[in-house]
Structure 1
Amino acid sequence: MSTSFGAKSTTDDVLAGVDLKGKRVLVTGVSAGLGVETARALAAHGADVVGAARDLKKAEGATAVVREAAAKSGGSLQLIELDLADLASVRAAADALVADGRAFDLVIANAGVMAPPFGKTVDGFETQFGTNHLGHFVFVNRIASLLKAGARVVSLASAGHRFSDVNLEDPNFETTDYVPFEAYGRSKTANILFAVEFDRRHKERGVRAVAVHPGGIQTELARHLDPAFIQGWIEQLNAQAAAEGQPPIEWKTIPQGAATSVWAGVVAPADAVGGLYCEDCHVAELAEDASQIRAGVRSYALDPAHAQALWALSEKLVGETF
């Protein structure tokens, strides 16, 4: 595998020389940030992109750069409505794609929310678990028949998975106190475990799944957070880094943040990333020490039995078997 890409690589670096004409890809969350850049980069290399968003009007404006890139490359952009916090919307979007019948080479489950006040989805699930995990769980599974042999699913997770493992006994904080970043950690761990189990179920037919951490990026994802809290958190992390002789944290640009998604989805060898967790355009190493907060993946997020248990719980919660 190429080792020429890293934390500072951009989407254009990663896709240099790659021709995606004839490839059909789906990206969720194309109304801002990483989703728009991911769609732009793929469209700029000739891909036919289907962009999913909750707010189509917002997405129309945000994806003007995607349409411009597609026009120059011979690619295309189609927008569809998808509200991951409403399973009726999820099922309607997936069913429409299946009825259309056109296959996909790549699905990037990019959309998500981070650390909002306690709330519930339309279906009564805790907002982050319901949106980040269960919405994508139903959506991707419902369109799995459209994934060609050789296709990949990229599940956007986060270093935030290290905040918390999933809680299979109380996924919706009914008996435990709600802590926004603990809930975020649970949902991001779930995103990794989903990739682990989806990969296990589909790799025999040539479809692989991988989870990725985009890196620390200033996007709309942080809209629920007090800027003072973010600044204090960064200062705390940098103090720890200095004590360990490490450089301070640097925010990634959005093109740098989206690079790992397109690297894992298009460039990296499938067998090298399938069922794993990637960051900075490489496969992450295990990081079990709680003080390791800059890089790496916790073993609980890659545990096959854990992934199967979460899958079974998820099917029970959404009332659907895949």
Structure 2
Amino acid sequence: MSSGWTADQMPDQRGRTAIVTGANSGLGLVSAWELARHGAHVVMACRNTEKGETAAAKIRADVPDASLEVLALDLASLGSIRTFADTVTASRPSFDLLLNNAGIMMPPRSLTEDGFELQFGTNHLGHFALTGLLLPALQAGSGPRIVTVSSIEHRPGRIDFDDLQREKYGPRSAYQQSKLANVLFGLELDRRLRAAGSPLISVLAHPGYSDTNLQRTGPTGLMRGFLEIGNRVMAQSSRHGARPQLYAATMPDVRGGEFFGPKGPGELRGKVGRVTPVAAGRDEISAERLWAVSEELTGVTYALPSPAAA
């Protein structure tokens, strides 16, 4: 791996089709932009399609021949997720990349359309359901990959199986739970894909501390003020923050189950490299339990064997 990798070093993506969730701003916009710049057809999955079209216009202004498609996807609604999956698979039988990028961070407690705590429901359950519904089309892709974006905040996270919906709510602890769930899901998915002998791989990435809309649209009060100061003093740009997920999505030396992030102090910023999830993220018993609960809550089941049973 080059020590100073940038998106300019991405391989040619012509002939590949990528789905990017949350593609209208921040890391998702940068990722969609770079994938399109390198020739991929990019499905920009956005909760607000008007903002998605505005983002697509920005990309086309820089990349006139960009191949883009904006479709509605609200990860806080299982109905929206099923509609998106039905729509996107009706027009093509395969996809080569799913970039599970969208997320929300530390809002006041609220519930999704289906009654899930908003951060757990959107960041984890929404992407779990989406991935499961798109799995057959992804397995039919060429060199297919799923990249799930977590956070350095997964480290202090704890999956509270007795209170997954966080009736005892703390904005930050709920966010940490959702980001740890991303790690458990991404690694368990890769184990199941390998047990099935699938060509599809599951990879993780995190952006370090990056300046995005997450810090402005979710947190309130003192936390929002603290994060706004942090954005000015410590954060790297979205363009830098998107590098780990773009590396994970495109580079030929990537292997299933790997995790990419900044390699600077505390993994807050710096050059792209392989990083290690905390022990709780590698706990296969917790991963199996979370998988079973996620299938039950979403109603989406995967035709993949449990590694323990394979």
With normalisation by structure 1, the TM-score equals 0.83
Q: Secondary structure at the match of 1:308?
A: helix
2:218 paired with 1:224 = yes
Instruction: Give me the whole-angstrom Cα distance separating, in 2, the residues matched to 1:318 and 1:300.
Output: 23
2:3 aligned residue: 4
Change (3 A) 1:122 1:166: same
Aligned counterparts of 2:29 and 2:221: Cα–Cα separation in 1: 23
2:93 matches 1:102 = yes
CA apart distance, 1:164: 1.4
**Secondary structure, counterpart of 1:115 in structure 2:** coil
**Alignment partner for residue 234 of structure 2, among 247, 250, 256?**
250
Alignment pair present for 1:31 and 2:24: yes
Aligned AA for 2:260? C
Over the aligned positions, Cα root-mean-square deviation in angstroms equals 2.1
**Alpha-carbon separation, structure 1, partners of 2:24 and 2:136:** 26
Deviations for 1:166-193, whole angstroms, at most 9, x for unmatched residues?
A: 122221023xx20000000000011111
Mapped to 1, the partners of 2:296 and 2:222 lie a distance apart of 40
Partner of 2:208: 215
Aligned to 1:275: 257
- Structure 2: tracts of 5 or more residues without a match: 263-271, 303-310
> Which residue among 283, 292, 298 is the counterpart of 2:278?
298
Tell me what 1:153 maps to: 146
C-alpha distance 305-269 of structure 1, shift in aligned 2 (>3 A): farther
Q: Give aligned pairs, total.
A: 287
User: Does 2:109 align with 1:118?
Assistant: yes
Deviation, 1:234, is 9.2
DSSP-derived class of the 1:214 partner: coil
1:252-285: CA deviation from partner (whole Å, max 9, x where unpaired): 11110111111011115232xx223221222213
Shift of the alpha carbon at 1:46? Answer: 0.7
Q: CA deviation at 1:305?
A: 2.4
1:299 alignment partner AA: A
TM-superposition CA deviations, 1:48-98 (whole Å, max 9, x none): 1011000000111122222234434xx400011000001000011011122
**Aligned-pair distance for 1:100?**
1.9
Give the alignment partner of residue 40 of structure 1, picking from 9, 33, 48: 33
| Aligned-partner residue type, residue 267 of structure 1 | M
- Kindly provide the amino acid, as one letter, of the partner of residue 19 in structure 2: L
Q: Equivalences for 1:184-223 in 2 at 5 Å?
A: 184-203=175-194, 204-222=197-215, 223=217
How many percent of aligned residue pairs carry the same amino acid? 37
Q: Judge conservation of contact 1:70–1:76 (CA < 8 Å) in 2.
A: no
Q: Call closer, same or farther: CA 1:103–1:69 in 2, change over 3 Å.
A: farther
Judged with a 3 Å threshold, the aligned counterparts in structure 2 of structure 1 residues 25 and 69 are, in CA distance, closer, same or farther, namely farther
Q: Amino acid of the residue matched to residue 251 of structure 1?
A: A
Cα distance per residue 1:24-53 (max 9 Å; x no partner): 111000121111110000100111101100
3-state SS, counterpart of residue 143 of structure 2: strand
- Evaluate the alpha carbon distance shift between residue 93 and residue 234 of structure 1 in structure 2; reply closer, same or farther with a 3 A threshold: closer
User: Do the aligned partners of 2:36 and 2:68 also contact (CA within 8 Å) in 1?
Assistant: yes
Q: Establish whether residue 183 from structure 1 lines up as the match of residue 184 from structure 2.
A: no
Secondary structure of 1:138's aligned partner: helix
2:309 matches 1:311: no
Secondary structure at the residue paired with 2:99? strand
